[in-house]
Amino acid sequence: MDRRSAQSISPGDALPERPLVCDTVQLFFYNAALWNAHRIHFDAPYATEGEGYPGLVVAGPLMGDWLTQCVLEWMGEAGELVSFEFSNRRAAFVDDPLVSGGTVRSVDATTGLVSLDLHISDADGQVLTPGQAVVRLPVD
């Protein structure tokens, strides 16, 4: 992994995109790890006939987690996550092809604080889960 520093990046730089698909097994594991029994995540007849969704709903905080992975994998071990926010604007469903990515919004070369814009998007490029993070990178 590249060593990032506040001097090695610029506003507008893209974070690597990652294709993501939540299948039934991953959705089961995620909700089991939480102990979350919300039926829209595992009971397909309930999700579709009961609540009118096109399929099992991907858990919102799982997509938030994917945004943190996008940041941490790009930032490297020398960086530090200062703050993170996301919101679940639109639902995603099991087996939907999604992608995570982001852009550097601003860099403070004195403090090393870097703000990032993040997103989970669907196959049409529509943003389902926007997010933002602030990280502290080493100052060379």
Partner 1 sequence: MIPLLDDKVLSHIGKSEPPQKELATRRDIRKYSVATGQRLRKFLDGDEAPPLFHIALFWDIVPLDELLTDGLSVDPLLPEFPLKRAMAGGWNIQYHRPIYPGDELVAKRTLSNIFEKSGSKGPLIFYEITRDIHTAAGEAVLTEKMTRILR
Q: How many residues bind partner 1 (CB under 8 A)?
A: 38
Site for partner 1 contains 102 (CB under 8 A): no
Q: Which residue has the tokens 């959705």?
A: 27
CA–CA separation, 7 and 71 (whole Å) = 17
CA–CA separation, 98 and 82 (whole Å) = 26
- The 73-92 site mask, x for binding partner 1 (CB under 8 A), equals x------xxxxxxxxxxx--
Provide the token pair at 36. Answer: 């979350």
Region 44-63 residues binding partner 1, contact defined as CB under 8 A: 46, 50-51, 60-62
Helix (H, G, I), strand (E, B) or coil at 101: strand
CA–CA separation, 110 and 99 (whole Å) = 32
Stretch that binds partner 1, among 4-12, 31-39, 110-118, 119-127 (CB under 8 A): 31-39
Among 34, 78, 123, 139, binds partner 1 (CB under 8 A): 34
12, 19, 42, 71, 125 from 134: Cα distances, Å: 15, 23, 34, 9, 24
Site for partner 1 contains 11 (CB under 8 A): no
Site for partner 1 contains 124 (CB under 8 A): no
Site for partner 1 contains 26 (CB under 8 A): yes
Site for partner 1 contains 68 (CB under 8 A): yes
